[in-house]
Amino acid sequence: MPFSLQHKTALVTGGASGIGLAISRLFAQQGATVHILELNHEQAIRQADAINRELDKAGADRAYGGKAIAHPIDIANQPEVISLLQKIAADGAIDILVNNAGIAHIGNAENTLEADFDRIVSVNIKGTYNCIHAVVPLMKKNNGGVILNMASVAATVGIPDRFAYSMSKGAVLTMTLSVARDFIKEGIRCNCISPARVHTPFVDGFLKKNYPGQEADMFAKLAATQPIGRMAEPEEIAHLALYLCSDEAAFITGCDYPIDGGFIRLNN
């Protein structure tokens, strides 16, 4: 099977909603044992159960893997992250880490509050660092692995009122390069994906909260900012993630992959 993840163990932070859920589902379909690391434990359990039911319905051969397991975790808490990853690794090698969890913020350098700035740093930067910090020693013991980080087009293109968010994703991008360089001899590959706007529940919630009664019009305006004329679907991001985490991408490390409908290069 092309892009098979059979017999592999994958961790997906924020893996119970949006892009993370699409990645969790696809990786499990491709044979991985997927550990969903999620702050909202009830949602993680619900989605893991749904993935496992889908696999059973499809007649998946569980002998090769192909299942989802939910774990409650605050990725901003380093001792908690280290403890959970060591527990998972006790049952076998961790092959893949997808650092997908992240939060958004709207504001510029003048009106961004310190509390909001600290919250962005805690989740988007420290949370990503915590997971990398915890998984690298475990991957080194098993002669390698794959780390995939979720950056954003906001890391390389100026976007209005995204000061703290852009800063955090820029950090994720440069962390990717550093990790790829530092651990290439240990067989650890590290890349990142930079999506433009993706149609997730977050987008729908944002529009409902800030533009009640105008959701359809505002959705169309946001979609139109992508040169391709629409937002991405979470599954499209998941398929790129699958390739980069598969053995077919064994020659790729230290790269950022925009998946943006032409946003970076064509939006002039």
Residue with tokens 């003048």: 110
Full 3-state SS string of 91-103: CCCCCEEEECCCC
CB atoms within 10 A of CB 169: 26
- Residues 183, 190: Cα–Cα separation, whole Å: 9
Q: Half-sphere exposure of residue 113, counting CA atoms within 13 Å on the CB side?
A: 3
**Radius of gyration, CA atoms only, the chain:** 18
Q: How many H helices and E strands in the chain?
A: 10, 7
8 A C-beta contact, residue 25 and residue 51: yes
> At 189, which helix (H) or strand (E)?
strand 188-195
For residue 160, is it left (φ>0), alpha (ψ between -120 and 50) or beta? beta
Residue 243 annotated to the active site: no
* Catalytic-labelled residue, pool 64, 165, 211, 243: 165
Cβ burial of 237 (10 Å; 0-12, 13-18, 19+) is buried
8 A C-beta contact, residue 103 and residue 119: yes
Burial 2-28 (b: 16+ CB within 10 A, else e): ebbbeebbbbbbbbbbbbbbbbbbbbb
* Residue positions annotated with a catalytic role: 165
